[in-house]
């Protein structure tokens, strides 16, 4: 995480420490970025921490036609 984005690092650290299943974020530049997810997994594995599934609100919803 860039030094200027301490909030993002704290958000990720809290989710990892408390073993959250999901980390919900709008931050597609640093947290919900496909290129960064593997990096986050590697760092957490080195620290023996689980990695939450990082998702955006849009990923949680799917549109289904009226039945």
Q: What is the pLDDT of residues 45-56, one digit of tens each?
A: 999 999 999 888
pLDDT-based confidence at residue 63 (cuts at 50, 70, 90): low
Q: Domain segments of the chain: what residues? A: 6-59
Give the predicted TM-score (pTM) of the model: 0.71
Q: Is the pLDDT of residue 65 over 70?
A: no
pLDDT above 70 covers a percentage of the chain that reads: 84
With tokens 């709008």, the residue in question is 26
Buried b (16+ CB within 10 A) or exposed e, 29-65: ebbbeeebeeebeeebeeeebebbebeeeeeeeeeee
What does the mean pLDDT of the chain come to?
83
């Amino acid at each position: 995480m860039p030094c200027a984005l301490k909030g993002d690092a704290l958000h990720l650290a809290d989710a990892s420490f408390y073993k959250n299943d999901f980390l919900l974020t709008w931050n597609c530049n640093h947290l919900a970025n496909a290129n960064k997810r593997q990096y986050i997994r590697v760092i957490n594995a080195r620290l023996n921490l689980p990695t939450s599934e990082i998702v955006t609100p849009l990923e949680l919803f799917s549109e289904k036609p009226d039945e």
